[in-house]
Structure 1
Amino acid sequence: MLGMLGHTFVQFVDNIMVGQLGTAELAAVSLGNSFMFIAMSIGIGFSTAITPLIAEADSSKNFEAGKSAFKHGLFLCTVLGIVLFLMVFFAKPIMYLMKQPEEVVELAIPYLDLVAFSLIPLIIFQAFKQFSDGLSMTTLPMIATLIANVVNVILNYLLIFGKFGFPEMGIVGAAIGTLASRLVMVIFIWGLLAKREKSKRFVTNIKFFTLAKSMLKKVISLGAPSAMQMFFEVAIFTSAIWLSGILGKNPQAANQIALNLSSMTFMVAMGMSVASMIRVGNQKGLQNFKELRRIAFSIFLLTIMIMTVFATTFLLFNEVLPTVYVDLNDSDNFADNTEVMAIAAQLLLAAAVFQLSDGIQVVVLGALRGLQDVKIPTLITFIAYWLVGFPVMYYLGLHTEYKSTGIWIGLLAGLTTAAIFLYIRFDHLTKRLIGTKNKT
């Protein structure tokens, strides 16, 4: 959970520090990160293919299969990171066609240039992280992520505000901090894995360009649908940013506050999803489907308990949490900041309601990935988010008085639909596997 939170915490720090500069700067970071959310979701989703393959190989003591899965996964993640960087870099002109405030777009472009490049080390790090998770060595990615966050905070402070003789670079300084922190993550995770006896043979003496078509196909067949699952979900949250931008810079800034807080709770659930993927993958390797189902339901229950705490927090502190992001002592922007806080408080009420749905859908999805069942869940996520959620958020957000709250009601509809049908899929699949095993 802490390892997954690290990615979001980088943006959390950026948002808090940039929020002190003004609502336009906060909205610009929101707009720039909306492109990053999509690219990151594809990269992180694809990298999850590595974890069940490693977990299965680990439980069956098959070193050769595990090293092959890691090497091919690392190669594909590196290529994907470069491709995603180029896609985001050349997609910047789209911002001018999205009916976003021109002031926000002008600020977002230089920020996005540097943050886009950070996709390369980020996706490479994800390959190492998912490999380490598959070996049940989840502490190492957490350490690397925490160190990277310390680097990000220090560089943000120095470069955003121009402290201790450093240039005052505003949101570009935040982008530099993000890029540097992600480079640090890759260096540290490799160093940590290379020193551990269990992982050393996997991450050293890698013949990077000696590849087998069969393993490439296997990783892609698992990674591509997983990437699309993450894309469908993150893209609908990104569309919420864009729709909020149509409503104005203040609704967009408020949306960013609520989205950033929700992203952190989602990453906790995502951590549980990884745990689910690892343990289900282990039991799949052992062909112990009854134990697989028991473990999975235990993780589901724990996730529900955790997300209930987050939901309660959002309900009780919906008016307090947004104050972290804006400077109420800034008299020049007092009216804008007050409006942003009011909108964000309303959005957090909607976010509180969908915490359970969000947690359930992502942890069940992790269990299905552990079973290496990815095609049907991909279809389910597409239907839930884009045939159910998006039409609701588009209509309520732009054509009713609900406005920003209506957008988040649409998110609730999509997440709830996904949670219900993914659970039905897992329940059906595991009962079928148990029945088949009993017959044999």
Structure 2
Amino acid sequence: MKAEKNKYSLWFLAWPIFVELLLQLLLGAVDTLMVSRVSDDAVAVVGLANQIFQAVMILFMTVASGAGILIAQKIGAKQQESARTVGIMAVTISGLIGAILSVILYVEAVPLARLFQLEERLIPLAHTYISIVGSGMVLTALTATLSTAIRNTGNTKGPMIIAIGMNVIHVMLNYAWINGAFGFPQLGLTGVAISTLLSRLLATCLLLYMFVSVFERRIRWRDLGVFNRKLFSEIIRIGWPLGVNMSSWVLSQLAIYSFLATMGAAALAARTYMNTLESICFMLGYSIALSAQIQIAHLFGSGQTQAAYKAGYRGTWIGLGLVMCNSILLLIIGKSFLGFFSSDKAIIELALSCLVLTAVLQPGRMVNMGFGNALNAIGDTRFNMVISLFSMWGVAAGLSYVLGLHYGLGLTGIYIAMMCDEYLRGILVAIRWRRKKYLRSAEGRTNSIDPLGATEGKVRNVHSA
């Protein structure tokens, strides 16, 4: 019992997640840094392409996110067979969706780039990057789903170790293909895209190897066809509001990127560089929020609602303290950091003009992420969906257009709009968590029959608030 408790302690979960996310961030930062050696135009293309990839990822992340929360809840409720089945279904369904998206992105790379008003001179670069990286979307689907499933069993170290190997391979291949080193041809942006594809392939293979042994009963090849309708409906019940929430964020960000595209390649490049800087600042807080979500889901599944409630506050306040310290650090190192990426004074000055706003934005984002993830962990996903639809489009995207384009504030106006969005949603989710509406509906414990036909423990009968 003590070992189980330690396995789901906040710091035990958080530090491997932090290392994994940091290494994933370094993957993106290395991409950005190395692509900047090709050209700032290439950076603008990669920035827009990554927004497109995030948009299509929603289709399988809906399944992966819902399954991850449900796995932690089922393990907390001692329903190991249900957790295993949920994991298997998530991987097979996400892999199928990813394969379909791979074909679409490969075939429709140019129309997608033009859809978001990319300058015509950048279209050839966009076609190269989107078609190559996009064709591997099935690998992205599998790595994301496998990592989520493995982490929510309490094993956060495994994905971290694989992320280390993925980053090492990616950096080496990037260097080789951009510079023509080690006998490799000099391929520029094409080489970066191929490097991304190969490193994800390696990560997928290693995660699959780990996944088959992560539950109490080993997964066999014949199990990959398993499907349980009742468990799948539980995944969708939790996951579809998460999918709408994620799609709302990504599509609103794409709308904002389309506004930036009309301002020129310099604005796109500046936003891409700042996004990397923001991610470094927020990474530790984000890892705390993710680990707190796993911990809260496990406590909630085991019927410990008061402990789950307190864990929501503990995770958010710890993350907030860390993010505020990092925001101060961001102000100190921001100018030097941007100098590593670009020598274009106009782009650097444009990015630096938003540095203070970026630092002020981060605490609001942490409160939003901390309490928002806590609500997701107990299945209260619809509330997040509703406020996201209103705030991300009405405030983030709508105000970005008004301030950035209509009033001509450019990138500064867009950052003001994003700051208003994060703080508004942060306040709303904090109030929702404090009122404990969803938790109260679960405090009357009832016996629950496992969807596979075996009683594996008592769980709470939870209904939508």
Normalising by the residue count of structure 1, what TM-score does the alignment of the two structures yield?
0.91
- Partner in structure 1 of residue 398 of structure 2: 391
| C-alpha distance in 2 between matches for 1:16 and 1:272 | 27
| Aligned amino acid, residue 27 of structure 1 | A
| C-alpha distance in 2 between matches for 1:43 and 1:403 | 34
Unmatched 5+ stretches in structure 1: 329-336
- Any conservation in 2 of the 1:3–1:271 contact (CA below 8 Å)? no
Residue identity over aligned pairs, in percent, reads 21
| C-alpha distance in 1 between matches for 2:149 and 2:432 | 26
- Partner in structure 2 of residue 428 of structure 1: 435
- Partner in structure 2 of residue 106 of structure 1: 124
Is 1:408 the counterpart of 2:415 in the alignment? Answer: yes
Is 1:145 the counterpart of 2:152 in the alignment? Answer: no
| Aligned amino acid, residue 227 of structure 1 | G
| Aligned amino acid, residue 152 of structure 1 | H
- Any conservation in 2 of the 1:272–1:303 contact (CA below 8 Å)? yes
Is 1:256 the counterpart of 2:263 in the alignment? Answer: no
Q: Cα–Cα, structure 1 residues 146 and 254, in superposed 2: closer, same or farther, change >3 Å?
A: same
| Aligned amino acid, residue 221 of structure 1 | R
Q: Cα–Cα, structure 1 residues 2 and 42, in superposed 2: closer, same or farther, change >3 Å?
A: farther
Q: Cα–Cα, structure 1 residues 97 and 226, in superposed 2: closer, same or farther, change >3 Å?
A: closer
- Any conservation in 1 of the 2:21–2:287 contact (CA below 8 Å)? yes
- Any conservation in 2 of the 1:14–1:174 contact (CA below 8 Å)? yes
- Partner in structure 2 of residue 51 of structure 1: 68
| C-alpha distance in 1 between matches for 2:309 and 2:147 | 25
- Partner in structure 1 of residue 19 of structure 2: 2
Q: Among 180, 183, 195, which residue is 1:162 paired with?
A: 180
- Any conservation in 1 of the 2:277–2:334 contact (CA below 8 Å)? no
Q: Among 22, 29, 36, which residue is 2:46 paired with?
A: 29
SS of the counterpart of 2:46?
helix
Q: Deviations over 1:195-252 (max 9, x none)?
A: x6x5363544552223122222222222222122122223333333222111011111
After TM superposition, the runs of 4+ consecutive aligned structure 1 residues lying more than 6 A away are: none
Shift of 1:128: 1.5
Shift of 1:437: 4.6
RMSD between aligned residues: 2.2
| C-alpha distance in 2 between matches for 1:30 and 1:135 | 33
Q: Among 214, 239, 248, which residue is 2:255 paired with?
A: 239
Shift of 1:2: 2.4
| C-alpha distance in 1 between matches for 2:111 and 2:389 | 27
Correspondence 1:161-200 to 2 at 5 A: 161-194=179-212, 199=215
| C-alpha distance in 1 between matches for 2:293 and 2:191 | 37
| C-alpha distance in 2 between matches for 1:434 and 1:211 | 29
Indicate the larger mover: 298-307 or 414-423.
414-423
| Aligned amino acid, residue 361 of structure 1 | N
Q: Deviations over 1:59-85 (max 9, x none)?
A: 222221111111111122112222333
| C-alpha distance in 1 between matches for 2:206 and 2:376 | 27
| C-alpha distance in 2 between matches for 1:10 and 1:154 | 11
Q: Deviations over 1:285-313 (max 9, x none)?
A: 12111111111111011110121122112
Is 1:355 the counterpart of 2:379 in the alignment? Answer: no
Q: Cα–Cα, structure 1 residues 80 and 365, in superposed 2: closer, same or farther, change >3 Å?
A: farther
Indicate the larger mover: 98-107 or 410-419.
98-107
Indicate the larger mover: 361-370 or 227-236.
227-236
- Partner in structure 2 of residue 117 of structure 1: 135
| Aligned amino acid, residue 190 of structure 2 | V
SS of the counterpart of 1:49?
helix
SS of the counterpart of 2:224?
coil
Q: Deviations over 1:328-370 (max 9, x none)?
A: 3xxxxxxxx1111111112332211110111121222221121
| Aligned amino acid, residue 108 of structure 1 | A
Indicate the larger mover: 45-54 or 200-209.
200-209
| C-alpha distance in 2 between matches for 1:323 and 1:15 | 13
| C-alpha distance in 2 between matches for 1:364 and 1:237 | 22
Unmatched 5+ stretches in structure 2: 1-17, 446-459, 461-465
SS of the counterpart of 2:187?
coil
Is 1:216 the counterpart of 2:229 in the alignment? Answer: no
Shift of 1:253: 0.7
Q: Deviations over 1:381-428 (max 9, x none)?
A: 111111122111111111224211111111111111111112222222
Q: Cα–Cα, structure 1 residues 52 and 99, in superposed 2: closer, same or farther, change >3 Å?
A: closer
| C-alpha distance in 2 between matches for 1:61 and 1:217 | 20
Q: Cα–Cα, structure 1 residues 117 and 104, in superposed 2: closer, same or farther, change >3 Å?
A: same
- Partner in structure 2 of residue 132 of structure 1: 150
